[in-house]
Amino acid sequence: MEIIMISDSKIKVMLSADDLKSFDLDTSSLDYSNTETKRMFWDILSRAKRSIGFDTDGHRVLVQLYPSRCGGCEMFVTRLSCLYDSEKGEQSELPEIEPVINQLPPKKIKKERNDGRVGAFAFENISNLINVCRRLVNMGYDGESDAYVGEDKRSYLFLSDLEPCAYLPLDEFSFISEYGTAENEEATRSYVSEHAKEICKTNAVEELARF
């Protein structure tokens, strides 16, 4: 299990298949209505508090969990507003968890490519780009993709079947915002054509996920 601090109010937790097994869980049995999943959430929050000082006591907590095909999962924990007991006039000691467990998608999320839609994304470093590619492969992404590194030292990724505009249009790809930013496809293409070197062409996601 690896716990990474993203910001003062958000952490990322990476669990392997063995980690889930230690809680008597697997990707098919993750469900906040069952005792094992609740126990896992509480245990992770306790570990995060001890290891990196991420304290959720007395707060609402949003937990987003993304199973992967390798048998593990990634979990994003966001500390929200404080809980306040209006009758007692005091703050609650225990966090209130709002789970969002994203089911493992079908093996392929490839779509018919009849409209030429492309999404463009920029990353501060190639490590973030590689992490995104690994998650896309775990999701089963099978679209066309190409990647570049610019003179500005940032990395760029183009994915087929996404809207060519500067926002994340599809829920299954919204995790990319944890690593980089969505960009205007036309403007980004123009930039990389003059100020960037190609890393991978047509199959960048699969190639970079191997690193």
Q: In the numeric block, which tokens belong to residue 17?
A: 């298949």
pLDDT above 90: residue 30: no
Contact 30, 65 (CB under 8 A): yes
Provide, rounded to the nearest whole percent, the portion of the chain with pLDDT above 70.
76
Q: State the maximum Cα–Cα separation within the chain, in Å, rounded to a whole number.
A: 63
Q: Is 101 exposed, middle or buried (0-12, 13-18, 19+ CB in 10 A)?
A: middle
Q: Helix, strand or coil for residue 120? A: strand
Q: Rounded CA gap, 133 and 141, in Å?
A: 9
> Residue 168: how many CA atoms within 13 Å on its side-chain side?
15
Q: Rounded CA gap, 136 and 10, in Å?
A: 22
pLDDT tens digits for 179-203?
Answer: 999 888 889 999 999 999 999 988 8
DSSP conformation letters of 158-198: EEETS-SSSS---GGGGGGGGTEEEE-HHHHHHHHHHHEEE
pLDDT tens digits for 89-141?
Answer: 444 455 566 665 655 444 444 444 434 568 899 999 999 999 999 988 887 88
